[in-house]
Structure 1
Amino acid sequence: MAAKWQVVREMDANLIDTALVEAAYANPALRALFPLVSHGSLQFSRCTRFPWSQDLPSIFPYDGERHFRVRRLHEPRGSGREQIGGAVTADEAVELVASHLPPGCGPALDGTPDDLESLS
């Protein structure tokens, strides 16, 4: 996990907002999760192998002015996303994600979502 976070923390600012990454890394609950970056968004997985768990909120750039929106899938492996919060700062987005994590979430499991289901 530490190696993946290091890769994300070293990404160019054109790929992901560095203040957002540092705010997420500073949060122990999020630092325990597997970070993913896609199209400027910061996403989190409860497992370290593809396919990633898709049951956690993600942070997306909002308006190009260092604001973000926090969204999550309507249901695991669903296609639509619901917005939890929008036009928030990096710190506020991190707190929103942390406050919407399922109970007992983390640290990320070295495996796939199938491995997570077998633990339930």
Structure 2
Amino acid sequence: MMESEAPREAAEIVAAEWRRVLGMSERRIDPAIPRAAHAQPELRELFPMVSHGALYFSRCTRSPWTHDVAALFARPGGFHVFRHSDKTVLGEPDAVEEAVRLIVAHLPDGCGPAVDGTPDDL
């Protein structure tokens, strides 16, 4: 594969995963969470993952995932924004849009589109 093909392939992998996440049932995740995150271009280019009703983001498309982008958890009456890499609670806003803005505001320096690979490929 030519080097110029790698970004497009990674973007296609990310887009396919976003389609899958956006199509998940309410039993897996509150649909408002991925919709709000997907509306932000900075998050739409990251690899999304859902576990236990929470939305996670990785800067790579393969395991092991990066943990330096905050995750978004639903909580009674609002949302919890938590970054696993340093165990930082970024906030507990009431609105999903505010939670998404917190994630975007705290993206790692140089955070760009996800790469097709592991953290070693960043």
Which bin holds the TM-score, normalised by the shorter protein?
Answer: 0.7 to 0.9
Counterpart of 2:114, as a letter, is A
Corresponding position: 1:21 with 2:65: no
Corresponding position: 1:103 with 2:109: yes
* Residue of structure 2 equivalent to 1:71: 82
Corresponding position: 1:82 with 2:88: yes
Helix, strand or coil at the partner of 1:55: coil
Mapped partners of 1:31, 1:88: distance in 2: 22
User: How many Å apart are 1:74 and its aligned residue?
Assistant: 4.8
Mapped partners of 1:34, 1:71: distance in 2: 17
Correspondence for 2:63 among 47, 50, 60: 50
Counterpart of 1:69, as a letter, is H
Counterpart of 1:45, as a letter, is S
Contact 2:28 2:52 in 1 (8 A): yes
Contact 2:67 2:85 in 1 (8 A): no
**Aligned-residue CA RMSD (Å):** 1.1
Normalized against structure 1, the TM-score is what? 0.86
In structure 2, runs of 5+ residues without a counterpart are: 1-13
Contact 1:47 1:111 in 2 (8 A): yes
Counterpart of 1:71, as a letter, is F
Helix, strand or coil at the partner of 2:116: coil
Segments of 4+ moved more than 6 angstroms:
none
Mapped partners of 1:103, 1:89: distance in 2: 25
In structure 1, runs of 5+ residues without a counterpart are: 76-80
Contact 2:68 2:85 in 1 (8 A): no
Contact 1:72 1:84 in 2 (8 A): yes
Deviations, residues 6-65 of structure 1 (Å, cap 9, x unaligned): 0000000111110111010000000010000010000000000011111111101111x4
